[in-house]
Amino acid sequence: MLKNTEKTMEKIVALCKNRGFIFAGSDIYGGLANTWDYGPLGARLKNNVKDTWRKRFIQERKNSYEVDADILMHPKVWEASGHVASFSDPLLDCKECKMRHRADNLIDDFDPEAHADGMTKEEMFEYIKEHSIPCPNCGKHNFTDIREFNLMFQTFRGVTNNSKSIIYLRPENAQGEYVNYLNVQRAMRAKLPFSIGQIGKAFRNEITPGNFTFRTVEFEQMEFQTFCKEGSDTELYDYFKEYGKKYFEDLGLPAENLRFHDHEKLAHYAKAACDIEFLFPFGWGEINGTHNRTNFDLTRHQEYSGVKMEYLDPETNERYIPFIIESTYGLDRTVLALLVQAYDEEVLDAEKNDTRVVLHLNPAVAPYKAAVLPLSKKLSGKAEEIRGELSKYFMTDFDETGSIGKRYRRQDEIGTPFCITVDFQTVGDENTPADNCVTVRDRDSMEQVRMPVSELADYISERIKF
């Protein structure tokens, strides 16, 4: 198995484009920088990841509820959250080639151990100057001072463009859970601690996005907010750090390619903050953020809305504003991590230069769970019948073109865990009775077993559970 540092993003991007996982956005118009469209297999993979998150965080957890809040919210939400005043990136321009860069990214790319997140704007500028960090585009060291740029996309509601009609595309999902805290608590008669989860789009006007789908202007988050009493917050924070790491491991990301990165510099409202990072071919990158946000968010919304956000404790009759433990999972980054981890170039016969490209995806998230392959086109009728039956239970592909070996390789390349071969024995002829059995090939081991058609659905269903 290739190590992640031995893989290249160029090969991952090429496979995604050629096999229908991810395409460049607006491709026929030359693309739009750092926008990406998920193709048939990518959309399926992404939705399968969502299903595992919903199962683990909503279905299997007590007192966990899912919401689907609108992307557009009252502009005062973002004033209360602090985004209007202070949601910005430290940017500087190269005076030679005019390229704009994030100061913290320049530093972290130069030295991952520098931890730019713990530096002030002035400290970052001094570090760049002291180490003569060059512009990644032209190689020169000649930068402007660092300036702050707000990351929110601003638009206008209605027919007139004035300050009263300003509205924002949400830069995060979390506020949708916070403003619905009272609604959920009341409607579900929820007692602390309880959680609200949401999967949805967010938008950030990133000036320096890059690395394929790792950093984009439009992305999807799987948000999970746990409301709790002060005093229980530290224990819950530690719990959800480990809970998130276990979730990633169960998805198929090994522990050696995951690490915790505790924040050295905390936001003014945070008591603790930690990222889970994954080892990509371009280095370590955040795929989850877990934060102890104290009672800052609900307190601010109480102040700006005039609505009391207190919880009445039924056991003590106390009234207090709950603390929040946030655990955010980047869906696009998780999908990218899974593709990187699964990608392998497996040498089958070095002398014959026989290598297969295979995606060792967890069967639970693989786009197709099985592919039905008739040995001959004469057997396509029976094969289609089997595909139709299996499709009632899970996504099933059908391929009748090319040699059986080439078809196996095509399915390996898109991560299909099981290939089902229909042969002449399956249907029989005038001399040999049909045995109604097929050959099932395992993607990873390439081992084959023969079994009755009637047992296929149960056999595969058991092996694609999460």
- Tens digit of pLDDT for each residue in 310-331? 999 999 999 999 999 999 999 9
Given a contact cutoff of 8 angstroms between Cβ atoms, the answer to whether 2 and 344 are in contact is yes
More confident residue, 100 or 177: 177
| pTM for the predicted model, two decimal places | 0.90
Confidence of residue 108 (pLDDT cuts 50, 70, 90): confident
C-alpha to C-alpha distance for 352 and 85, rounded to whole angstroms: 63
Alpha helices in 263-402 (DSSP H): 296-305, 331-342, 380-390
Pairing of β 370-374 and β 396-398: parallel
- Residue 313 tokens read as 């404790």
C-alpha to C-alpha distance for 195 and 61, rounded to whole angstroms: 9
Residue type, 116: A
Average the pLDDT over each of 260-264, 417-421, 443-447 and give the range with the smallest value.
Answer: 260-264
pLDDT of 271 above 90 = yes
In terms of residues, how long is the chain? 466
Given a contact cutoff of 8 angstroms between Cβ atoms, the answer to whether 205 and 155 are in contact is no
Mean pLDDT of 328-344: 98
**Which strands form 396-398's sheet, in the order they lie side by side?**
396-398, 370-374, 418-422, 437-442, 448-452
What's the mean pLDDT when you consider all of the chain?
94
% of the chain exceeding 70 in pLDDT = 98
Residue reference for tokens 């509601």: 157
Cα dihedral 26, 31, 36, 39 in deg (nearest 10): 50
Query: Would you state the pLDDT for residue 285?
Result: 94
C-alpha to C-alpha distance for 253 and 343, rounded to whole angstroms: 12
Model confidence over 233-247: pLDDT tens digits?
Answer: 999 999 999 999 999
C-alpha to C-alpha distance for 322 and 233, rounded to whole angstroms: 9
Query: Would you state the pLDDT for residue 208?
Result: 63
Q: Which of 285, 87, 324, 308 is nearest to 192 (CA)?
A: 324
Confidence of residue 209 (pLDDT cuts 50, 70, 90): low
Mean pLDDT of 72-78: 95
Find all residues with CB under 8 Å of 191, minimum gap 6, and list them: 63, 314
Model confidence over 211-231: pLDDT tens digits?
Answer: 899 999 999 999 999 999 999
Model confidence over 114-166: pLDDT tens digits?
Answer: 888 778 889 999 999 999 999 988 999 999 999 888 889 999 888 766 667 88
Query: Would you state the pLDDT for residue 218?
Result: 95
Query: Would you state the pLDDT for residue 128?
Result: 95
Mean pLDDT of 407-431: 96
Give, to the nearest 10 degrees, the angle between helix 380-390 and helix 456-463. Answer: 50
Q: Which of 18, 3, 7, 37 is nearest to 410 (CA)?
A: 18
Q: Phi and psi of 74, rounded to 5°?
A: -55, 130
% of the chain exceeding 90 in pLDDT = 83
pLDDT of 380 above 80 = yes
Model confidence over 350-375: pLDDT tens digits?
Answer: 888 889 999 999 999 999 999 999 99
C-alpha to C-alpha distance for 152 and 90, rounded to whole angstroms: 14
Query: Would you state the pLDDT for residue 430?
Result: 86
Among 29-38, 156-165, 175-184, the range with the most confident prediction by mean pLDDT is: 175-184
C-alpha to C-alpha distance for 81 and 69, rounded to whole angstroms: 16
Average the pLDDT over each of 96-110, 184-198, 295-309 and give the range with the smallest value.
Answer: 96-110
Bridge partners, 210 (sequence order) = 215
Mean pLDDT of 43-71: 98
The three-state secondary structure class of 98 is coil
Cα dihedral 282, 283, 284, 288 in deg (nearest 10): 0
Mean pLDDT of 71-77: 95
Query: Would you state the pLDDT for residue 96?
Result: 92
CA separation, residue 68 to residues 190, 198, 221 (Å): 18, 6, 12
Q: Which of 220, 136, 207 is nearest to 172 (CA)?
A: 220
